Chain A
């Protein structure tokens, strides 16, 4: 059957608190970054993206921060809800590249 996977880094957060998920990316040529949310048994769902000419972008209850100097990306979720429980992946790419490079994934567990 399917091989046993790695243990994901897990963030446990109280409902209503803010969550911060971090991602270190590897390619200094990357100029486009995406956060995906993947619930158990489902495909990854687009949350928010950011281009390298920005350092912050806000969506509904989510904010992505980009620090190109240290190649670091973060996703902040405000007022975390039980429905936010999922695995979150960052992904990077660059103009002209049709491939995404995914980070390892972070499990978020929301405690009611």
Chain B
């Protein structure tokens, strides 16, 4: 089945230790998104890639970076995680060029910072 895959599902890191979360998709969508979601809140967009074009949100801290080496994969790098970065991180995709405005989400990676 075509889908959005996130690995790992749970990630534990130490304060200040760089961590990378990964997302892959078999939908062949040209847009990939990274969201941060904290308890009982709506997902908050960090950035997105439209093909190879990176689009950062104005309020996304510099501590968060992203890479998209090809259509299928997108990575979220947290350079120096703080306790406040503990959250669920969601990847999503869509394909506006085909009229597919709806974003499809992966299962998320729960990040714990010790």
A binds B: yes
Binding site for B on A (CB under 8 A): 1-8, 32, 34, 36, 41-46, 49, 87, 89, 93, 95, 98-100, 102-105
Whether B50 sits at the interface, judged by CB under 8 Å, is yes
5 other A-B residue contacts (CB within 8 Å) besides A2-B86, A100-B45: A1-B83, A41-B110, A49-B101, A99-B48, A100-B103
Q: Which of A5, A36, A98, A102 contacts B40 (CB 8 A)?
A: A5
In the bound complex, CA of A42 to CA of B104 (Å):
13
Closest 7 CB pairs of A and B: A5-B40, A5-B39, A102-B42, A43-B105, A2-B86, A43-B108, A44-B105
The residues of B that contact A99 with a CB separation of less than 8 Å are 45, 48
The residues of B that contact A6 with a CB separation of less than 8 Å are 40-41
The residues of B that contact A43 with a CB separation of less than 8 Å are 4, 6, 90, 92, 105-108
Whether B55 sits at the interface, judged by CB under 8 Å, is yes
A/B pair count, beta carbons within 8 Å: 66
The residues of A that contact B103 with a CB separation of less than 8 Å are 34, 100
Quote the shortest CB–CB distance from A52 to chain B (angstroms).
Answer: 12
| A-B pairs with beta carbons under 8 Å apart, 11 shown | A1-B83, A5-B39, A5-B40, A6-B41, A36-B105, A41-B110, A42-B107, A43-B106, A44-B105, A98-B50, A98-B55
In the bound complex, CA of A51 to CA of B57 (Å):
26
In the bound complex, CA of A105 to CA of B42 (Å):
7
In the bound complex, CA of A6 to CA of B108 (Å):
20
Interface string of B76-114 (1 = CB under 8 A from A): 000000011011001010101000011111111010110
A105:B45 contact, CB within 8 angstroms: no
The residues of B that contact A89 with a CB separation of less than 8 Å are 42-43
B38:A45 contact, CB within 8 angstroms: no
Quote the shortest CB–CB distance from A39 to chain B (angstroms).
Answer: 10
